[in-house]
């Protein structure tokens, strides 16, 4: 069985604690590797080395740092299939989905090629008599990223690329369920010219997370995961004087107006609700058709599309629609929530609890599940299921549908499907959600904008990637300068103030 490593000072390093956790093949339920869990001492040593390496890296001019990003992007492209296979092997998602995971991270690296423009300060000439003012953006020092299992390439790249391009050193703590992709990315960064020690990959569990939050050298922490953990990390980091950027759970609604193209809406819901087995924070998990006629038409179109979905391991080929969940515990939790929906009175249209696949009976699969007549009091509505379950909540009016979305405690993403521009503009203006799609089901912004939710989906003032990332990973220093004129008299300089 493979024993994975940490990545410290430019090389693979075995763990020394004797503590490991299993890395599963989600399609078979078998353990395929063990990953070491670092101690506080191991984390501290990695931070100390990162702090030493950061001094020279932070003093490297931004253009040279950007060249490393250029080479890194080229290497990611060259190794796309290798990275995607690593994602699929540990996460279980299909190869096309895994390539998309890598691609969306790569796009952030490409934006970081333009880091010099994003790191410029401001200048004012003659702000006062003979006084000039200018500001500069400087790296924080050592920062940390704590990333989730559901995007093993994308989110580590969202964290590391802007942090490194800004001149920081980074401690990356990937999910212990999917650690291999981060180790591969570290190898590619070294090949691209990143100095040893500037990126340290430290595997671990809560012990390492708490050590990161408490370490006085680490100046900022970026996190993606569940809302309770995001809130915990944000609070503990802030109490220790660190910047924190923490993104949590979601319950994303898609409103379908009576004038919407029902076929396009149904296609969008199937992809957004069941893609990646629903294990993404931007998944649409709640469909809100306005009017019973719209709801009935939507169900009529959804059922045949759902019945055609192909569920299986990533090794089954490119036409698999989605794969298993990440763990047995996730599988059982999702099945339990489906059962609760039945018990609480929702109409179960398609049931994925008994899905089995010949040869993969021990895999963590759940079939596509569709509920109708869901209400806001039910557990399947209130909880982030993080599985292939789509709930339909019927609304009588547009205002009722909008209020349902706005009253939800989460605010990551939302969408509306309509042919009416005025309704779309009203929705985009009024809804209290961070990312909005209009006839677009998963409104993840392009990498030169910024990604971020509202309400209980995000904690912190700045979003991920784009200009916000460079603001987060740098601190601003402002200089006020005044020079005096010199008049030479008798070989001596006599100075007088300009004012």
Q: What tokens were used for 222? A: 């970026």
- For tokens 């693979």, what's the residue? 12
- Cα-Cα-Cα-Cα torsion 339, 342, 344, 349, nearest 10 degrees, comes to 130
- Cα-Cα-Cα-Cα torsion 14, 17, 18, 22, nearest 10 degrees, comes to -70
Query: CA 252 to CA 289: how far, in whole Å?
Result: 14
Contact status, residue 229 vs residue 459, Cβ threshold 8 Å: no
How many other CB atoms are found less than 10 A from the CB of residue 224? 26
Catalytic residue numbers? 281
Query: CA 312 to CA 331: how far, in whole Å?
Result: 14
Query: CA 92 to CA 360: how far, in whole Å?
Result: 12
Q: What tokens were used for 292? A: 């019973």
3-state SS assignment for residue 30: strand
- For tokens 């940390």, what's the residue? 144
Q: Which of 228, 281, 298, 294 is nearest to 413 (CA)?
A: 281
Query: CA 269 to CA 260: how far, in whole Å?
Result: 13
């Amino acid at each position: 069985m493979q024993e994975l490593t940490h990545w410290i000072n430019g090389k693979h390093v075995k763990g020394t604690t004797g503590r490991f956790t299993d890395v599963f093949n989600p399609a078979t339920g078998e353990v395929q590797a063990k990953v070491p869990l670092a101690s506080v001492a191991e984390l501290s040593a990695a931070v100390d080395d990162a702090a030493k390496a950061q001094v020279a890296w932070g003093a490297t001019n931004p253009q040279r740092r950007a060249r490393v990003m250029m080479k890194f992007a080229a290497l990611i492209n060259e190794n796309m299939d290798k990275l995607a296979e690593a994602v699929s092997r540990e996460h279980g998602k299909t190869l096309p989905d895994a390539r998309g995971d890598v691609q969306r991270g790569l796009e952030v690296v490409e934006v970081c090629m333009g880091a010099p423009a994003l790191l410029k300060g401001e200048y004012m000439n003659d702000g006062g008599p003979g006084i000039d003012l200018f500001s500069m953006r400087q790296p924080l020092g050592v920062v940390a990223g704590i990333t989730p299992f559901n995007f093993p390439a994308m989110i580590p790249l969202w964290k590391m690329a802007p942090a490194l391009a800004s001149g920081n050193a980074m401690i990356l703590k990937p999910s212990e369920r999917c650690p291999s992709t981060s180790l591969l990315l570290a190898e590619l960064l070294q090949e691209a010219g990143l100095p040893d020690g500037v990126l340290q990959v430290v595997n671990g569990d809560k012990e390492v997370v708490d050590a990161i939050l408490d370490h006085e050298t680490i100046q900022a922490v970026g996190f993606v995961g569940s809302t309770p953990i995001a809130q915990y990390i944000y609070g503990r980091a802030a109490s220790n004087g660190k910047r924190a950027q923490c993104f949590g759970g979601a319950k994303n609604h898609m409103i379908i107006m009576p004038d919407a193209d029902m076929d396009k809406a149904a296609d969008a819901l199937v992809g957004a609700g069941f893609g990646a087995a629903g294990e993404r924070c931007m998944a649409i998990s709640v469909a809100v058709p306005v009017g019973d006629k719209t709801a009935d038409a939507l169900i009529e179109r959804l059922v045949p599309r759902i019945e055609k979905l192909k569920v299986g391991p990533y090794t089954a080929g490119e036409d698999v629609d989605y794969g298993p969940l990440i763990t047995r515990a996730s599988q059982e939790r999702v099945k339990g929530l489906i059962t609760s929906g039945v018990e609480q009175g929702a109409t179960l249209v398609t049931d994925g609890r008994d899905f089995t696949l010949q040869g993969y009976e021990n895999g963590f699969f759940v079939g596509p599940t569709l509920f109708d007549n869901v209400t806001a009091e039910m557990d399947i509505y209130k909880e982030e299921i993080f599985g292939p379950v789509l709930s339909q909540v019927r609304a009588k009016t547009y205002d009722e549908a909008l209020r349902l979305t706005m009253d939800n405690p989460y605010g990551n993403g939302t969408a509306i499907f309509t042919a009416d521009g005025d309704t779309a503009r009203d929705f985009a203006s009024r809804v209290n959600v961070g990312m909005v799609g209009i006839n677009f089901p998963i409104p993840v912004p392009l990498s030169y904008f910024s990604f971020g939710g509202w309400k209980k989906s995000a904690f912190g003032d700045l979003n991920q990637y784009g200009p916000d990332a460079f603001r987060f990973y740098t601190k601003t220093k402002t200089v006020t300068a005044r020079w005096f004129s010199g008049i030479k008299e008798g070989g001596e300089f006599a100075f007088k103030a300009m004012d």
